[in-house]
Copies of this chain bind each other. A is one copy, B any other.
Amino acid sequence: MGEVKLLGTWPSPFYYRVVWALKLKGIAYEFIEEDLGNKSPLLLQYNPVHKKIPVLVHNGKPICESMIILEYIEQVWPQNPLLPSDPYERAIARFWIKFTEDKSLAIWMVFGTKGEEQEKAVKDCLEMLKTIEEHALGDSQKKLFGGDEINMVDIAFGQLAYWLQCIEQVSGVKLLEASKFPRLQTWVENFKQVPIIKQNLPDRDEMLAFFKTRREMRLAAAK
């Protein structure tokens, strides 16, 4: 298995993507906590382009970007597969992973703005949720995106199941209304019931306090 280290910070949903994947695969790792207000020389050395967590370090070699780390994990440790083996099903999975990578910035725009700018972000966010509701979940009866078992698409969408609710509360807007997005709401419930997910989520109160402070700082800086 070799030496596995993970650089991350506790409130980041991108860090949790890697945590969930490693746990689902049964891979032991050492966690190295990063302080993003004071980035370590190690982080700057390992991810000189983006200077961001998460970084997975396997036998001394760094891999950056959460979804690329997950593809790496899938290739190196094929047990409990996180992607379908069928090429077409795999392409569909990657389509939705790319979709959330490209679109979910809107959630963080809702979090970091107010007034007109926030209204625009809310619109983008609702459009994203509508597309997932109608096209990704469609008229399927699947428990999760991966079917009965969690897969890489579920993990990619993980921030919608936990962080979004925190952002709603902190930002004072409701996005994922169950009446508008019944399939997505069912997915959220099912996703949070998966034992590895349930056991590996940041504390809700600490998250709320953290994101509340962050939002105030962000808005103050934008003035």
Q: Which A residues are closer than 8 A to B by beta carbons?
A: 48-49, 58, 61, 63-65, 67-69, 71-72, 75-76, 87-88, 90-91, 94-95, 98-99, 101, 131, 135
B91 and A72 contacting across the interface, CB-CB below 8 Å: yes
- Chain A interface, DSSP helix/strand/loop, else mixed: helix
List of B residues within 8 angstroms of A91 by Cβ: 63, 68-69, 71-72
List of B residues within 8 angstroms of A49 by Cβ: 95, 99, 131, 135
How many copies are assembled?
Answer: 2
Q: Told that A48-B135, A68-B95, A75-B90 touch, could you supply 14 new A-B pairs with CB distance under 8 A?
A: A49-B95, A49-B99, A49-B131, A58-B88, A63-B88, A63-B95, A65-B94, A67-B98, A69-B91, A72-B87, A72-B88, A72-B91, A76-B87, A98-B101
Residue of B nearest to A48 (CB): B135
List 5 tightest A-B contacts by C-beta distance, closest first: A72-B91, A75-B87, A63-B91, A68-B94, A76-B87
Q: Which of B64, B88, B94, B131 meets A95, CB within 8 Å?
A: B64
Q: What are 29 A-B contacts with C-beta separation under 8 Å?
A: A48-B135, A49-B95, A49-B131, A49-B135, A58-B88, A61-B88, A63-B88, A63-B91, A63-B95, A65-B94, A65-B95, A65-B98, A67-B98, A68-B91, A68-B94, A68-B95, A68-B98, A69-B91, A71-B90, A71-B91, A71-B94, A72-B87, A72-B88, A72-B90, A72-B91, A75-B87, A75-B90, A76-B87, A98-B101
How far, in Å, is A116 (CB) from chain B's closest CB? Answer: 19
How far, in Å, is A109 (CB) from chain B's closest CB? Answer: 16
Residue of B nearest to A94 (CB): B68
List of B residues within 8 angstroms of A98 by Cβ: 65, 67-68, 101
How far, in Å, is A161 (CB) from chain B's closest CB? Answer: 21
How far, in Å, is A114 (CB) from chain B's closest CB? Answer: 23
A67 to B75, CA, bound (A): 18
List of B residues within 8 angstroms of A135 by Cβ: 48-49
A49 to B131, CA, bound (A): 7
Residue of B nearest to A86 (CB): B75
Residue of B nearest to A99 (CB): B49
How far, in Å, is A102 (CB) from chain B's closest CB? Answer: 8
